[in-house]
Amino acid sequence: MPPFFDGIRPTGGRAKLGPHGPTLDGMSETAPTDLPGEPHAPAAPDVEGLTRDIADVPAVEVITTVAVHLMSSAAVNLGLAEGGEEHKDLDEARKLITALAGLVTASATEVGSYHAAPLRDGLKSLQLAFREASAVPDEPGQGPGEKFTGPVIGSPASRSRR
């Protein structure tokens, strides 16, 4: 059985991305041994049925879900979440923003402007927030993801005044 299915118990549902990677709605990521009253041997999931459910998810939905996860994680690592300074890690934020920029740039024509526009806006906001959070800001064109998007100029504060 592929390692993807280790510890996942089928209860039906559609594919989605969970905090630890792909999961299915209605499925638990908890190992069966952690459930009260459950036997210690995991039940074998219906791999064929799960594959069909995953295949039913449109690519646009998968791409936008991954992008939102990258955005959320980058925001936390920029210290923008509640209790921000505790989780601030600019090195991790740089990696996440660069990955997001690659995904958004590469998929823009595939997902269409309806989905791509808000992803680009979110990406730009994160790039500007990174520049603002850096003690020594990168040169224009050298910031996270800018090799994919080109230089990002401005500040989050100046964007909100428009």
Under 8 Å between Cβ of 123 and 145: yes
Give the helix/strand (H/E) hosting 18: strand 15-18
Could you read off the pLDDT tens digit of each residue along the chain, which spans 162 residues?
334 334 433 434 444 445 445 544 444 444 444 455 555 556 667 777 667 677 888 999 999 999 999 999 999 999 998 887 888 999 999 999 999 999 999 999 999 999 999 999 999 999 999 999 999 989 989 999 999 999 998 755 544 433
Structure tokens at 63: 């791409």
Distance CA 18, CA 12 (A): 15
User: pTM for this structure?
Assistant: 0.66
Among 80, 1, 104, which residue's Cα sits nearest to residue 44? 1
What's the length of the chain?
162
